[in-house]
Amino acid sequence: MAISAPVIVAEDSNRIDTRLVEQIYRQLYRIRHVEEEVARIYPSDKIKSPVHLSIGQEAVAVGVCAALAEDDVVFGTYRSHAAYLAKGGDLRAMFAELYGKQTGCCAGKGGSMHLVDVDHGVMGTSAVVGTTIPQAAGYAYSLQQTGSRRVVVAFFGDGAAEEGVFYETLNFAALKSLPLLFVCENNGFAINTPQRARVKVADIAARARAFGVTSVALPDDDVLQLREATQTAIGQLRSGDGPYFIECPTYRWKEHVGPGEDWHLGFRSNEDARPWIEADQVARIGQLLPATRRLAVEAEIQAEVADAVAFAESSLFPGPPELFTDVEVLSPEQTLQGASADGSITERTLRYSEAIREATAQEMARDEQVVVLGLGVNDFGRWIYGTTRELADEFGESRCFDTPLSEDAMTGAAIGAAMAGMRPVHVHIRQDFLLLCMNQLINMAAKAHYMYGGRVSVPLVVRSVIGKSWGQGAQHSQALQSLFMHIPGLKVVAPTTPYDAKGLLIQSIRDDNPTIFIEHRLLHFQQGPVPELAYTVPFGKARVLAPGTDVTLVGISWMAIECLRARAYLEQAGISAEVIDPVSLSPLDLQTIMRSASRTRRVVVVDNGWTTCGASAEIVAGLTEGGCSERTVWRMGFAPTTCPPTPSLENLFYPDGRSIAAFVHATCLGGDPSWNPSVEIHPEQLEFRGPF
């Protein structure tokens, strides 16, 4: 493929604009030389993370970033050395990061695949294909809401255009007219499979166009033409007419991972590469400069790169304590604790759903960065039990809006908005559906603060509904709290009372970390005292719902209600049960449970989930490690099967007050196995007495 060199003309003459040529060449050569040094050093094992070199693809990042303003923002993928450097990322910090040193751009915790430089608008790169595309959209949404004219660029490869999240994000970006530029670096192979073997329709720009996105497919990676195309795109985005899509063919000279070549693998050949190498943009642009000036630029860059390498090699590795820093953002202590003006607790009664709605509205009024998004949140609250009722009327549809049916992309967008400074509350009508966005929650929300060395925070609340719902069966009845408890970087809460629901939601919104906020559907109808003023409930503090002396019942979410029912049943047999609601599952308050166990000498943990590797298993393990005998600690939970919809079996799947009481009477206290409480206790007969 032959590429002819266009003439670059200055505005006031017919001469070639050597300043622009030198600027472009400096960036191209700098990236090329940096990666050649990385390739040279890599076999020595000094570089501590896998590298994905962009040698041959430099023109895309340089052409695009040459048209950006300093305060514009870029997101990238794992092959993003070029984008990081073209946008102005710190070279010393990049080399130190590759070396795993504490002076790295991510303090040695990110490596080559996770680069960030917030000061220069590099908001992060990801090792998972397509992951940062929706985050770029969320960041763009945040900019749009502030009236900013800044734009966001999402760099990705042709392989990412096969991910579902790519199409979900195109739809959302077009729906909201976001100031987002999609840039597809199409090298034709993704990893090592030719595009023709992966897709029927190779025209990626046409796919974007189908979503109503202005799209351009360039014929090659001519850096100057790409700069001009990007200028056109940026002008359109700044005018509010977004998004925009550019597909740019390019070619990767090196193997997918590492500094070598991969011609021997058989998926491409030297013959394939020859036209691209002959049209190398680095050499081509360099030829437009006078030789003396070109050599001077190269010498300056060689010295700069040598300095960066020396800096990386002389820097220290992170010390052992750094293993545990940046797992979470250490937020300031909240001081509001629900007291009214005269210091008393208001005995006003609200439903659980009303408490959540009030907490959300009070936080939206206090902080305009708080936004609510999700399926049905603007549908008069009908789908979310009234918890978002009329919020769109009160605060506007830009701050409370329904989302497309795109769990993966919309969770990523919420993460991106949080990175930009918003405080999103993302509502999922079923926790089962969080399985569709686990990559965003686990690989990005939970890890971003750590893997970016504390440079990025994700103040995100993910509300999700769990629970029994009259025959809804296998895929609408799950509770996945134990899965999220397993992941460092996520906070997990499951408040039971209306009081805790309001206070803990406010606490979660104000916290600078991602929080999974779990609501059992039946809890939305429970009533209890809730102060009118804003207040917070701290993470990591369990609640004693009722005192007792003979046995401790620990109930998670709705199972706290069933434990209160069990307590009432056990009273019929003269047994006194203490009921504890953990409230917060990660962090978890084992001390309160341990103190109760030391008094009652018997503990039954009842989870609204499966016992195997579950939340109850974690609590039991903690109690056992803390000194409780395995003969005094038991657990109950879902039957070890998939939830059936038929009532005759469904009733056996969930523990309830009667089965808990019978278990305690027979197993924990050695009572009559045939004992059964005589008086029925219904949940609505239970009373929450504040302030607990």
177-189 mean pLDDT: 95
Known catalytic residue at 449: no
Query: Which residue in 476, 520, 524, 665 is the catalytic one?
Result: 476
Confidence of residue 194 (pLDDT cuts 50, 70, 90): confident
| Shared-domain flag, residues 236 and 178 | yes
| Shared-domain flag, residues 91 and 26 | yes
608-635 mean pLDDT: 90
| Shared-domain flag, residues 395 and 420 | yes
pLDDT-wise least confident of 202-211, 356-365, 383-392: 383-392
In a domain, 539, yes or no: no
Q: How many domains does the chain have?
A: 3
| Shared-domain flag, residues 368 and 299 | no
Residue 461 predicted with pLDDT over 60:
yes
User: 645: domain CATH number?
Assistant: 3.40.50.920
Of 404, 400, 411, nearest to 434 by C-alpha is 411
Q: What count of residues does the chain have?
A: 692
Last residue of a domain, one of 266, 300, 316: 316
| Shared-domain flag, residues 217 and 255 | yes
- Determine the Cα–Cα distance for residues 39 and 52; give it in Å rounded to an integer: 10
Per-residue pLDDT of 205-253, as tens digits, reads 999 999 999 999 999 999 999 999 999 999 999 999 999 999 999 999 9
In a domain, 672, yes or no: yes
- Give the angle subtended at the CA of 555 by the CAs of 553 and 556, to the nearest 5°: 160
Per-residue pLDDT of 498-508, as tens digits, reads 999 999 999 99
pTM, two decimals, is 0.93
pLDDT at 9: 42
pLDDT at 144: 97
| Shared-domain flag, residues 559 and 417 | no
| Shared-domain flag, residues 159 and 287 | yes
The residues near 349 (Cβ < 8 Å, ≥ 6 apart) are 527, 528, 529, 530
17-29 mean pLDDT: 94
| Shared-domain flag, residues 411 and 468 | yes
User: 191: domain CATH number?
Assistant: 3.40.50.970
Q: What is the SS3 string spanning 286-315?
A: HCCCCHHHHHHHHHHHHHHHHHHHHHHHHC
Q: Percent of the chain at pLDDT above 70?
A: 93
pLDDT at 495: 97
pLDDT at 689: 59
Last residue of a domain, one of 502, 529, 556: 529
In a domain, 10, yes or no: no
Q: Which residue has the higher pLDDT, 482 or 691?
A: 482
Per-residue pLDDT of 134-153, as tens digits, reads 999 999 999 999 999 999 99
In a domain, 226, yes or no: yes
State residue 688 phi and psi, 5-degree precision: -90, 120
What is the Cα 647 distance to its own chain's centre?
A: 37
Known catalytic residue at 476: yes
Residue 605 · residue 616 · CB < 8 Å: yes
pLDDT-wise least confident of 87-96, 275-284, 640-649, 666-675: 666-675
Q: What is the mean pLDDT of the chain?
A: 91
In a domain, 690, yes or no: no
Residue 671 predicted with pLDDT over 50:
yes
pLDDT at 687: 67
In 356-499, which ranges are E strands? 370-374, 400-402, 423-428, 461-466, 491-493
pLDDT at 690: 53
pLDDT-wise least confident of 116-130, 266-280, 322-336, 465-479: 322-336
pLDDT at 333: 57
- Determine the Cα–Cα distance for residues 264 and 65; give it in Å rounded to an integer: 34
Which residues form the domain of 525? Answer: 349-529
Query: Which residue in 247, 407, 562, 618 is the catalytic one?
Result: 407
| Shared-domain flag, residues 133 and 105 | yes
| Shared-domain flag, residues 449 and 419 | yes
In a domain, 84, yes or no: yes
pLDDT at 382: 66
471-498 mean pLDDT: 92
| Shared-domain flag, residues 515 and 553 | no
| Shared-domain flag, residues 602 and 490 | no
Confidence of residue 1 (pLDDT cuts 50, 70, 90): very low
pLDDT at 195: 86
> Which of 302-311, 471-480, 522-531 shows the highest mean pLDDT?
302-311
- Determine the Cα–Cα distance for residues 668 and 283; give it in Å rounded to an integer: 80
In a domain, 298, yes or no: yes
pLDDT at 111: 94
Residue 341 predicted with pLDDT over 50:
no
In a domain, 155, yes or no: yes
Last residue of a domain, one of 300, 316, 332: 316
556-572 mean pLDDT: 95
455-480 mean pLDDT: 89
